[in-house]
Amino acid sequence: MVSRPSKDDLEAARDRVLPDLLGPGLRIVFCGINPGLWSAATGHHFARPGNRFWPALHDAGLTPRRLDPAEQAELLPLGLGLTNVVPRASARADELTRQEYVDGGAALRAKVERHAPAWLAVLGVTAYRAAFGDRTAQVGEQAVTWGPTRLWVLPNPSGLNAHWSATALAGEFHRLGEAAGVVRPDRAGGVGSATAPGS
């Protein structure tokens, strides 16, 4: 389990860069907006309690069990990786500037072209629109590709994203998993999918 950082730990983590979890031959790289202070303080992606990323991965059939953020390295053998649009940590995404999104988007594209995963999944339609100037993007598969990499936008798994229920969120993760061919056979039936607004 991830230990609970103190208030001082969280403040010290501001602007820290959280290392990517990347490697060759990945099926899906999940891309967050930017690390929160909790993640930067612990060194683990999506570590803040209440974030629904790890439960959604399991509920969608992408991991054999619900992983703890501290077990993030177990994603690589499953063909899954982690990165962020903007590398620096902040308390809230609204602390990021428009230029940071644009610069982060360019750096992300270069990173994806270097590692060539089958899919890049950006977690948050608002972040995707800001980083790539696509004001009409919606959740789901995107029409553009970056070399061999196909793009998908997933809802933001933050617990603050009330537009998406846990079931609907897992349903979107499952749709991506099916497209990428990484849904576990014992979860082939999938989870319920639902459409919802929001990022």
CA distances in angstroms from 33 to 51, 77, 95, 181, listed in the order given: 13, 24, 11, 25
Cα–Cα distance between 184 and 180 in angstroms, integer?
Answer: 11
Residue 65 domain flag: yes
Beta-bridge partners for 154: 123
Residue 29 domain flag: yes
Phi-psi domain of 198 (left: phi exceeds 0; alpha: psi -120 through 50; beta: other): left
Residue 60 sits in a domain whose CATH number is 3.40.470.10
Q: Which amino acid is at 32?
A: G
Residue 150 domain flag: yes
Residue 84 domain flag: yes
> What confidence score (pLDDT) does residue 144 get?
94
Residue 198 domain flag: no
Residue 193 pLDDT class (50, 70, 90 cuts): very low
Residue 161 pLDDT class (50, 70, 90 cuts): confident
Residue 195 pLDDT class (50, 70, 90 cuts): very low
Average pLDDT of the residues in 48-70: 96
Give residue 73's domain range.
7-181
CA 199, chain centre distance (Å): 12
* pLDDT per position as a tens digit, 75-128: 999 999 999 999 999 999 889 999 999 999 999 999 999 999 999 999 999 999
> What confidence score (pLDDT) does residue 160 get?
79
> What confidence score (pLDDT) does residue 93 get?
87
Domains in the chain: how many in total? 1
> What confidence score (pLDDT) does residue 198 get?
47
What average pLDDT is seen over the chain? 91
Residue 190 domain flag: no
Average pLDDT of the residues in 137-154: 97
Could you tell me which residues come within 8 angstroms of residue 77 by beta carbon, excluding any fewer than 6 positions away?
none
* pLDDT per position as a tens digit, 166-183: 999 999 999 999 999 998
Q: Which uninterrupted H or E stretch holds 66?
A: none
Q: Which pairing describes strands 140-146 and 149-154: parallel, antiparallel, or unpaired?
A: antiparallel
Residue 192 domain flag: no
> What confidence score (pLDDT) does residue 34 get?
96
